[in-house]
Structure 1
Amino acid sequence: MTQQLRGIFALVLVTLVWGTTFPAMKDLTANFSPVWIILTRFAIASLLLAPFLWRARRSDLQAGFLLGLVLFFCYLFQVEGLALTSSNRNAFICGLNVLVVPLLGILGGRLPERRIVLALVLAIGGLAALCWDGGAWGIGDTLALLAALSFGVYVKIMEIKTRGAVRLMSVTAAQILTVAVCAALWLLMREVPRGTGLIEDANNYWRYIGGNLLAYWPNFAYLGVICTAGIISLQAWGQSRTTANEAAVIYAFEPGAAAFFGYFWLGEAMTARGWLGAALLISGMIVSQWNAERRPAAALAPE
């Protein structure tokens, strides 16, 4: 087996694992707030990637902090949206982030290429079919779209920052730690009961959280160890052995993988019209990336 073929198989595995994160997180939204899911997942990954912070360059840490700040809001929108819509619908809408990067060029005064116009037409048609199948557009869909926009901005910032990175894994470890810290601060400010008159509420709150963390530790271990820390390394290894076009086509099938695992994990099903919309969305993602400029190995966020 050639190195290129091994890289392709590695990226296929990355895409399949990414597809499982949507039903895995959806399964947790019934018992945890979105920020608790983000905090636990990224805290586990931070512990595993902590060695890459040892003697890290200051520039890498600064880049990781900025990226982590943006990435936190990416996941906040994504998981908030997951709580209000199905995992497969959320996945397909979040997958539109691949269209955001080329569209940012339009804001800079550049006319869109033909492939981008075609990709937008396919994506809009796909969204229309998907919503026709699963009900009217809702708040959860809007949050998923905001997540897609945020991920697109994140990819563009990552593209710039990784060019000057000394160690990509140091940047990655710093941003994942930043996401965990942001989530912890968000919880302290907005969710955790505080004040002398709320002692009983605080005790009940922590008993509830502690009990559910113990009950759902396999989900969190899977998300933190496999989907975040482990897949990052496999993604970088696979992308270094494949072309940008091959990687783009493989990644475009991530929402399809999410729909597949959503069916077996959560029992979520889509009609023929829904699958037509999904096919149009995936086609739009592939068209938008075909013959695009090569992106750095760490340009895509861990899903």
Structure 2
Amino acid sequence: MQHALVVQLSLHIYHYHHYIFTTTQGLILLVVITLIWRTTFPLVEDAVSGISPAALIAVRFGMASVIFTPQLRNINSKLLKDGLLLGLLLFSSFATQAVALETIHANRAAFIASLNTILVPLLGLLLGQRLRPKTFLAAFVAFSGIGIMSWESGALVIGDLLMFCEAFVYSIYLLVLESATRHHPSQALTAIQLWVITMLGAFWVGPELVGQLEVIHNNLPAIIYLSVIATAANTWLQAIAQRSVSAFETALFYTLEPVFAAVFSFLLLGEKLGISGLIGATFVLVAMVLSQSKVKNTQDDGKVQRCEPVVAVLTASDTQEVDLSVSILEPHKQYEN
């Protein structure tokens, strides 16, 4: 028993020194993820015009899941459970977004989706975290901004409501992912998520996929980009980033999403925001920064925050001992709520 524990401790220490990751690196990753991710809004909007949302998700995630399939060799029940939950949440987010983009413009959808920056701390309140009065002010400013943006095109439409739901679901996803990445290898966690979404997407599209093959072929370059870069790579990179960056910090850096989305929608689709849209967008950006202005990491000095866990590469009988080693070696972040 003692020998086994020493071996497992040594493995964890080795992994710790060879897979170091700092908060700064995590934040840089989030910027890259955000830049890539928001190129998908105009691409998805353009592709959905010819491909059904169900078919797009099934094909997009089907391609992405193949890349990480080898990582399914070493999984345990806890990893499977967390991966299933994350996959279900992410599928709900993607499916809702894909349907919403059939009725609203890409830049408007991106701004509404950015409300997760407000929703993450609000959901944190339900988990017992202290919520500052400034956060309530930020929420009011954000919803005012969304209202101003909506008036630009008249009353709220179903796409707006769907994107509100997407923002809520994705906020839950961020909080769950922050917890899950502390305990599981990022590649295995990503593999399970992608396969869950692939299977749900296949069930959703059903026989309809056969009739979509020609349209899929015509949009293949965009779908390959969505699958390999914006889905497989981004899902994995986000799992890595949230080892050292909290859900709150992730939401803060996602304030860049509407900025990138507006730029890419203008460059690729020729979409423009009117004066009320610009004012509303400014309100939303101010609210997102305001809500996160007091959130900071007391250990954010560039030091190592977390490392890749090794539980998945050991046998089930060793899990209890490895969990002990993780609790000893893994530094824990503290946040000012």
> What SS does the aligned partner of 2:78 have?
helix
Matches within 5 A, 1:181-196: 181-188=199-206, 192=207
Preserved contact between residue 109 and residue 160 of structure 2 (Cα < 8 Å): yes
Aligned length: 280
1:101 alignment partner in structure 2 = 120
Q: Using a 3 Å threshold, how does the CA distance of structure 1 residues 116 and 95 change in structure 2: closer, same or farther?
A: same
Q: For 1:231 and 1:215, how far apart are their aligned partners in 2? A: 24
Q: Which of 170, 180, 187 is equivalent to 1:169? A: 187
2:294 alignment partner in structure 1 = 291
1:230 alignment partner in structure 2 = 233
| 1:119 partnered with 2:122 | no
1:178 alignment partner in structure 2 = 196
Q: Using a 3 Å threshold, how does the CA distance of structure 1 residues 296 and 282 change in structure 2: closer, same or farther?
A: farther
| 1:49 partnered with 2:68 | yes
The sequence identity of aligned pairs, in percent, is 34
Q: Using a 3 Å threshold, how does the CA distance of structure 1 residues 115 and 297 change in structure 2: closer, same or farther?
A: farther
2:52 alignment partner in structure 1 = 33
Preserved contact between residue 162 and residue 296 of structure 1 (Cα < 8 Å): no
Deviation at 1:289, TM superposition (A): 2.6
Structure 1 length-normalised TM: 0.82
Preserved contact between residue 248 and residue 286 of structure 1 (Cα < 8 Å): no
Q: For 1:162 and 1:237, how far apart are their aligned partners in 2? A: 7
Q: Which of 212, 215, 221 is equivalent to 2:215? A: 212
Deviates most, 287-296 or 125-134: 287-296
Deviation at 1:31, TM superposition (A): 0.9
Preserved contact between residue 72 and residue 179 of structure 1 (Cα < 8 Å): yes
> What SS does the aligned partner of 1:14 have?
helix
1:12 alignment partner in structure 2 = 31
2:178 alignment partner in structure 1 = 159
Deviation at 1:169, TM superposition (A): 2.2
Preserved contact between residue 177 and residue 239 of structure 2 (Cα < 8 Å): no
Q: For 1:291 and 1:281, how far apart are their aligned partners in 2? A: 17
> What SS does the aligned partner of 2:181 have?
helix
> What SS does the aligned partner of 2:123 have?
helix
Report which of the two structures shows the higher radius of gyration computed on alpha carbons. 2
Which ranges of structure 1 fall in alignment gaps of 5 or more residues?
194-204, 299-303
Q: For 2:133 and 2:262, how far apart are their aligned partners in 1? A: 29
- Superposed CA deviations along residues 225-283 of structure 1, whole A, max 9, x for unmatched, are 01111234444566667788875543211111111111111121111221121121122
- Superposed CA deviations along residues 177-212 of structure 1, whole A, max 9, x for unmatched, are 101101111222xxx36xxxxxxxxxxx72x41111
1:251 alignment partner in structure 2 = 254
2:148 alignment partner in structure 1 = 129
- Superposed CA deviations along residues 34-54 of structure 1, whole A, max 9, x for unmatched, are 111111111111011112222
Deviation at 1:161, TM superposition (A): 3.1
Preserved contact between residue 175 and residue 247 of structure 2 (Cα < 8 Å): no
Q: Which residue type is aligned with residue 41 of structure 1?
A: R
Q: Using a 3 Å threshold, how does the CA distance of structure 1 residues 27 and 248 change in structure 2: closer, same or farther?
A: same
Deviation at 1:73, TM superposition (A): 1.3
Q: For 2:83 and 2:26, how far apart are their aligned partners in 1? A: 26
Preserved contact between residue 145 and residue 279 of structure 2 (Cα < 8 Å): yes
> What SS does the aligned partner of 2:152 have?
helix
Structure 2 length-normalised TM: 0.74
2:164 alignment partner in structure 1 = 145
Q: Which of 265, 276, 280 is equivalent to 2:279? A: 276
Q: Using a 3 Å threshold, how does the CA distance of structure 1 residues 238 and 65 change in structure 2: closer, same or farther?
A: closer
Which ranges of structure 2 fall in alignment gaps of 5 or more residues?
1-21, 298-304, 309-337
2:14 alignment partner in structure 1 = none
Give me the CA root mean square deviation: 2.9
Q: For 1:145 and 1:227, how far apart are their aligned partners in 2? A: 22
